[in-house]
Amino acid sequence: MRKVKGKLVLKDGSVYEGDLYGNRNAVGEVVFTTGMSGYQETLTDPSFCDQIVVMTYPLVGNYGCCKLFDQSDKCWYQGFIVSELCDEPSNWRNEESLPDFLERMNVPVLVGVDTRAITRKIRSYGTLQGVIVPSDMPQEEIDKLLATPEVHDQVAKVTTPEVYTMGEGKYHVAVLDYGIKSNILKYLIKFD
The domain that contains 87 carries what CATH number?
Answer: 3.50.30.20
- Regarding whether 79 and 137 lie in a shared domain, the answer is yes
- Regarding whether 166 and 124 lie in a shared domain, the answer is no
- Regarding whether 168 and 74 lie in a shared domain, the answer is no
- Regarding whether 60 and 104 lie in a shared domain, the answer is yes
Mean pLDDT for the stretch of residues 79-95: 94
- Regarding whether 70 and 7 lie in a shared domain, the answer is yes
- Regarding whether 103 and 140 lie in a shared domain, the answer is yes
pLDDT computed for residue 53 by the predictor: 96
- Regarding whether 81 and 62 lie in a shared domain, the answer is yes
User: Rounded to the nearest 5°, which phi and psi values hold at 54?
Assistant: -105, 125
- Regarding whether 114 and 69 lie in a shared domain, the answer is yes
Number of domains observed in the structure of the chain: 2
Domain that holds residue 184: 159-192
pLDDT computed for residue 192 by the predictor: 61
Convert the pLDDT of each residue in 127-169 to its tens digit: 899 999 999 999 999 999 999 887 778 888 888 888 888 888 7
What is the pTM assigned to this prediction? 0.89
- Regarding whether 105 and 84 lie in a shared domain, the answer is yes
Q: 26 Cβ partners below 8 Å, 6+ apart?
A: 52, 77, 78, 79, 107, 108, 131, 132, 133
Q: 16 Cβ partners below 8 Å, 6+ apart?
A: 7, 8, 81, 110, 113, 114, 117, 118
Mean pLDDT for the stretch of residues 90-114: 95
pLDDT computed for residue 111 by the predictor: 98
Which range, of 15-19, 90-94, 132-136, 181-185, averages the lowest pLDDT?
181-185
- Regarding whether 110 and 166 lie in a shared domain, the answer is no
- Regarding whether 84 and 170 lie in a shared domain, the answer is no
Burial 150-165 (b: 16+ CB within 10 A, else e): eeeebeeebeeeeeee
- Regarding whether 90 and 61 lie in a shared domain, the answer is yes
Mean pLDDT for the stretch of residues 62-72: 92
Mean pLDDT score of the chain: 91
User: In the chain, where do the E strands start and end?
Assistant: 3-10, 15-21, 26-33, 51-55, 59-60, 79-82, 84-85, 109-111, 128-134
